């Protein structure tokens, strides 16, 4: 399609203009004293794949951060979906658990960092805990909203036709809820990524967040920008993968497109 | 029938209250009650409540009262937030309205938005040093990103038929934007204000944990260093309440401003 | 009538979407004050036709002249009533009706008078401060009609405005429309797939062909107003139009 080609062309132009402004700002003005130009940053980024920064190469930093994020993301997701469905379906579970969720959710996951360090030490444990918190509440609540959005008349119609609870669940509740779950997973992914970066910046010895903070400590702006680039690209990659999975699995929803 | 329903709702509220009471009781039991956790691992609810009261007038151990920390945090958060909104909303609207600008700026913006606000802390600290400005700049970026995304999609969701009505009446491009697209995007813009507030507040806490000499994030980080977990929890509670109150204000404002029963 | 310029003159109107030819060389004229109904088989591009007429879609070829000059909503007083519900949800009934008047910068006193008149005619005076979300579907469509008539348009385009209404409401609104048309002397182009509606309302009926759309024929509708849907002449004309539309 011509429209698509136009889009790509303008997009490339946009990025090119952005890089030009960046380049001009750093080479022509005094900003260059503190900020490296884009070529240096790009070169630094690719060099980092072969020459390690600290004890790891770039790919290892990214993988370490991803592992820290994905393991608790998985558990937070599974548990969040289960609790969300439980609360959505059973009023009693709703009444018991909802007050806790409502009380704990307004606390930003990042604010748990000091407590998690005391409870789980400086190692992986505290990071897993944080990411779990960052994912669990979001996913539980969106799932809960999904179950609540199920059309009452559909449920009544199915009941009248003699559907059992488990049939109701698989044929009505689940299809309605899945798009909600995905939107929750999507939001949680973004917030998990932000949280892991923050957690690594506060205490770690490797990972993309560490790249930035160790750059700050020695005043190496190039390393900071390389770290930011790694964060942006990895973030973009995982959200695109998530969106791809979503559009495959929920082809019937508008959100999936 | 109606009474029965009312009774049902009351029953569940009662269960909720009971559930909370039970939770606090268990918390008390494992700390003060049976002494399973010491106060440097999990302070008792009584202790947290005491510290909460005390911290309003005591500057120990971090050099400022709770109110001073709160005001310091609010200043930075709201400063960055307001500037982020003032720049982000028009930028999002403009991007959505102008196709060519949209196609140019979109990819750059999509890349920037995946960078969590905290990550900018290092850049800003290196550029302008630790202080009000670096934090405000970081918050400005994270608030602005959320504002741009939401006002952008608000404008993009304008119904074609509404624009057609304007066009067939002979409205100019500017009138189409100000009389149709913006009013119809208003609910999304307010969603953006709410989301941006959340992300500004979260980013602030992170920035204060990392680089600060005052503020709620600084307070809990300091308290953690000397194992005063009661103050850590007090700080977390105040952060949560403040965030919730600010968000409620925005939502209330939204309900006032958005006409026609749309939410 | 060669010396008198028709209200609307369409010449060689053609519209393609990519390679798909939707409108194929349409030619026709509409006289001042005429009520023309446009009927045709489902999916024959009636809406595309009307949208091309107002430049919502840019025609691929051909010319549309209103009063002898190329159509331009900024210069000519045109109103359009859409098939979808098009009232602005953020404006009250009164503000919705006033919308076109504000765009056209009509002086306040005149605008006020027009709005009052329209509120009265469509019977929404009591509901003037209601928002669309508080109104029923038929009221919403009446708001759209009032908004369109409030600017006293010289040309009114209607795209199946009553397509989704109950039959009794439709009759009521059709009568209202005839009343308004007689009162204002507006030229009306009314698209519908409902042949009975077309025969009931129109002075002329234009029948379109299947895609790619062209004008099959234009019929006169001389039946006197108000019309009786069960009279012999009415049924005869209705059957005639039905036969013209049949493509099976």
Cα distance from A204 to chain B (closest Cα, Å)? 13
Please state, in angstroms and rounded to a whole number, the distance separating the CA atoms of residues C220 and C218.
7
Interchain pair C73, B259: CB under 8 A: no
Question: Is residue A106 domain-shared with residue A28, that is, in the same domain?
Answer: no
Nearest CB partner across the interface for C86, out of B161, B258, B260: B161
Please state, in angstroms and rounded to a whole number, the distance separating the CA atoms of residues A84 and A141.
6
The count of domains in chain A is 2
Using a CB-CB cut-off of 8 Å, the residues of chain B touching C103 are 166, 169-171, 175, 179
* Residue B218 placed within a domain: yes
Mean pLDDT taken over chain C: 84
ipTM: 0.85
Residue A143 pLDDT > 60: yes
Question: Is residue A29 domain-shared with residue A147, that is, in the same domain?
Answer: no
A partners (3+ CB pairs within 8 A) are B
pLDDT tens for residues A196-234?
A: 998 888 888 888 999 998 888 888 888 999 999 999 889
Residues 6+ apart with CB under 8 A from B26: none
Strand-strand pairing, C204-208 and C215-220:
antiparallel
Question: Is residue B136 domain-shared with residue B158, that is, in the same domain?
Answer: yes
DSSP state, A1? -
Query: Looking at chain B from residue 191 to 230, which residues have their Cβ under 8 Å from any Cβ of chain A?
Result: 198, 201-202, 205-206, 209-210, 217, 220-221, 223-224, 227, 229
Q: Testing the interface with C: which of B168, B180, B185 to mutate, by most C Cβ within 10 A?
A: B168
* C194-222 CB burial, b ≥16 within 10 A, e <16: ebbbbbbbbbbbbbbbebbbbbeeebebe
Mean pLDDT taken over chain B: 88
Question: Is residue A62 domain-shared with residue A153, that is, in the same domain?
Answer: yes
Mean pLDDT taken over chain A: 86
Check if the beta carbon of residue B208 is closer than 8 Å to that of residue B217: yes
Residue A63 pLDDT > 80: yes
Question: Is residue A55 domain-shared with residue A168, that is, in the same domain?
Answer: yes
Helix (H) or strand (E) holding C136: none
Q: Determine the pLDDT at residue A159.
A: 83
Check if the beta carbon of residue A149 is closer than 8 Å to that of residue A49: no
Residue B86 contacts A where some CB pair is shorter than 8 Å: no
Question: Is residue B68 domain-shared with residue B150, that is, in the same domain?
Answer: yes
Interchain pair A108, B235: CB under 8 A: no
Residue C209 pLDDT > 70: yes
Q: With cut-offs at 50, 70 and 90, classify the pLDDT of residue C20.
A: confident
Question: Is residue A22 domain-shared with residue A41, that is, in the same domain?
Answer: no
Contacts 24+ apart (CB under 8 A), A206-209: A206/A54, A206/A55, A206/A56, A206/A60, A206/A61, A206/A64, A207/A61, A207/A64, A207/A65, A207/A68, A208/A61, A208/A62, A208/A65, A208/A234, A209/A65, A209/B119
Nearest CB partner across the interface for C89, out of B164, B179, B260: B260
Q: Determine the pLDDT at residue C1.
A: 42
Token code pair at residue B66: 């709770």
* Residue B262 placed within a domain: no
Question: Is residue B28 domain-shared with residue B49, that is, in the same domain?
Answer: no
Query: Looking at chain B from residue 130 to 189, which residues have their Cβ under 8 Å from any Cβ of chain A?
Result: none
Q: Determine the pLDDT at residue A217.
A: 87
Alpha carbon distance, N-terminus to C-terminus of chain C: 38
Question: Is residue A108 domain-shared with residue A228, that is, in the same domain?
Answer: yes
Using a CB-CB cut-off of 8 Å, the residues of chain B touching A90 are none
Question: Is residue A120 domain-shared with residue A1, that is, in the same domain?
Answer: no
Using a CB-CB cut-off of 8 Å, the residues of chain A touching B40 are 118
Q: Determine the pLDDT at residue B37.
A: 82
**SS3 of C107, please?**
coil
Partners of C20 in beta bridges:
C17
Question: Is residue A179 domain-shared with residue A223, that is, in the same domain?
Answer: yes
CATH number reported for the structural domain that contains residue B85 in this entry: 1.10.3720.10
Q: What is the dihedral of CA A139, A141, A142, A147, to 10 degrees?
A: 120
Across C77-90, average pLDDT: 88
* Residue A257 placed within a domain: no
Instruction: Write out the E strands in chain A.
Output: none
Please report how many Cα atoms fall inside a 13 Å half-sphere around the Cα of residue B204, on the Cβ side: 33
* Residue A256 placed within a domain: no
Interchain pair B162, C86: CB under 8 A: yes
Across B17-42, average pLDDT: 87
Map tokens 């209103």 to a residue.
Answer: C66
Residues 6+ apart with CB under 8 A from B63: none
Residue C208 pLDDT > 90: no
Question: Is residue A49 domain-shared with residue A81, that is, in the same domain?
Answer: yes
When mean pLDDT is compared across B150-159, C44-53, C189-198, the lowest value belongs to C44-53
Question: Is residue A31 domain-shared with residue A113, that is, in the same domain?
Answer: no
Question: Is residue B18 domain-shared with residue B66, that is, in the same domain?
Answer: no
* Residue A216 placed within a domain: yes
Interchain pair B170, C103: CB under 8 A: yes
Question: Is residue B33 domain-shared with residue B49, that is, in the same domain?
Answer: no
Residue A256 pLDDT > 50: no
Strand-strand pairing, C69-70 and C61-66:
antiparallel
Residue B128 contacts A where some CB pair is shorter than 8 Å: no
Question: Is residue A119 domain-shared with residue A175, that is, in the same domain?
Answer: yes
What domain range includes position A7? Answer: 1-35
What domain range includes position B197? Answer: 43-257
Write down all domains in chain C, each with its CATH number in brackets: 1-74+178-248 (3.40.50.300), 77-153 (no CATH)
Closest CA to C145 of C81, C190, C91: C81
* Residue A245 placed within a domain: yes
Question: Is residue A26 domain-shared with residue A54, that is, in the same domain?
Answer: no
Helices and strands (H and E) in chain B: how many: 11, 0
């Amino acid at each position: 399609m011509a429209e698509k080609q136009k889009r790509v062309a303008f997009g490339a132009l946009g990025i090119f203009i952005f890089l030009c402004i960046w380049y001009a700002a750093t080479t022509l003005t005094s900003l260059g004293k503190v900020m490296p130009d884009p070529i240096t940053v790009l070169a630094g980024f690719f060099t980092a794949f072969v020459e390690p920064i600290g004890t790891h190469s770039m790919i290892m930093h990214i993988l370490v951060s991803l592992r820290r994020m994905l393991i608790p993301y998985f558990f937070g997701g599974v548990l969040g979906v289960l609790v969300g469905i439980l609360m959505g379906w059973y009023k009693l579970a709703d009444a018991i658990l909802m007050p806790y969720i409502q009380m704990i959710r307004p606390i930003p996951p990042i604010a748990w960092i000091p407590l998690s360090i005391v409870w789980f030490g400086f190692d992986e444990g505290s990071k897993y805990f944080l990411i779990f918190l960052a994912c669990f509440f979001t996913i539980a609540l969106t799932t809960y909203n999904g179950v609540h959005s199920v059309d009452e008349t559909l449920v009544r119609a199915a009941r009248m036709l003699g559907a059992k609870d488990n049939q109701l669940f698989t044929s009505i509740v689940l299809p309605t809820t899945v798009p909600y779950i995905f939107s929750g997973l999507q939001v949680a992914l973004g917030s998990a990524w932000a949280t892991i970066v923050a957690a690594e910046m506060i205490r770690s010895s490797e990972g993309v967040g560490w790249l930035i903070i160790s750059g700050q400590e020695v005043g190496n702006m190039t390393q900071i920008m390389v770290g930011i680039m790694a964060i942006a690209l990895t973030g973009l990659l995982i959200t695109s993968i998530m969106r791809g999975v979503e559009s495959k699995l929920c082809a019937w929803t508008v959100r999936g497109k | 029938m109606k009474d029965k329903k009312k009774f049902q709702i009351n029953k569940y509220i009662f269960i909720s209250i009971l559930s909370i009471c039970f939770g606090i009781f268990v918390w008390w039991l494992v700390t003060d009650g049976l002494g399973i956790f010491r106060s440097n691992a999990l302070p008792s609810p009584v202790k947290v409540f005491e510290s909460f009261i005390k911290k309003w007038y005591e500057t120990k151990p971090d050099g400022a009262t709770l109110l001073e920390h709160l005001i310091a945090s609010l200043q930075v958060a709201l400063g960055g937030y307001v500037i982020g909104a003032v720049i982000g909303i028009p930028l999002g609207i403009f991007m959505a309205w102008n196709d060519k600008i949209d196609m140019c700026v979109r990819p750059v913006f999509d890349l920037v938005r995946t960078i969590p606000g905290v990550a900018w802390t290092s850049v800003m600290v290196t550029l302008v040093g630790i202080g009000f400005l670096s934090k405000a700049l970081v918050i400005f970026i994270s608030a602005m990103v959320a504002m741009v995304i939401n006002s952008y999609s608000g404008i993009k969701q304008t119904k074609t038929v509404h624009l057609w009505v304007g066009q067939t009446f002979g409205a100019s491009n500017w009138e189409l934007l100000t009389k149709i697209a913006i009013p119809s995007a208003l609910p999304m813009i307010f969603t953006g204000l709410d989301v941006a507030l959340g992300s500004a507040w979260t980013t602030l806490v992170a920035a204060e944990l990392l680089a600060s000499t005052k503020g709620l994030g600084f307070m809990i980080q300091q308290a953690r260093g000397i194992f005063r977990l009661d103050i850590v929890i007090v700080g977390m509670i105040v952060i949560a309440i403040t965030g919730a109150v600010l968000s409620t204000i925005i939502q209330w404002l939204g309900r006032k401003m958005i006409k026609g029963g749309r939410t | 009538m060669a010396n008198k310029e028709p209200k609307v003159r369409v010449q060689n109107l053609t519209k393609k979407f990519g390679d798909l030819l939707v409108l194929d060389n349409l030619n026709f004229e509409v006289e001042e004050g005429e009520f023309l109904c446009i009927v045709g088989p489902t999916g024959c591009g009636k809406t595309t036709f009307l949208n091309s007429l107002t430049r919502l879609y840019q025609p691929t070829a051909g010319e549309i002249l209103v009063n002898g000059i190329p159509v331009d909503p900024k210069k000519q007083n045109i109103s359009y009533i859409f098939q979808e519900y098009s009232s602005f949800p953020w404006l009250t009934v009164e503000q919705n009706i006033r919308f076109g008047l504000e765009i056209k910068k009509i002086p306040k006193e005149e605008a006020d008078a027009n709005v009052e008149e329209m509120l009265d005619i469509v019977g929404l005076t009591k509901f003037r401060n209601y928002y669309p979300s508080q109104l029923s579907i038929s009221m919403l469509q009446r708001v759209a009609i009032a908004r369109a008539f409030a600017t006293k348009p010289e040309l009114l385009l209607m795209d199946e405005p009553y397509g989704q209404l109950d039959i009794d409401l439709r009759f009521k609104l059709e009568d209202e429309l005839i009343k308004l048309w007689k009162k204002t002397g507006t030229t009306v182009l009314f698209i519908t797939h409902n042949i009975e509606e077309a025969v009931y309302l129109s002075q002329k009926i234009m029948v379109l062909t299947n895609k790619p759309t062209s004008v099959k024929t234009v019929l006169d509708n001389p039946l006197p107003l108000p019309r009786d849907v069960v009279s012999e002449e009415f049924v005869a004309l209705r059957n005639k139009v039905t036969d013209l539309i049949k493509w099976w």
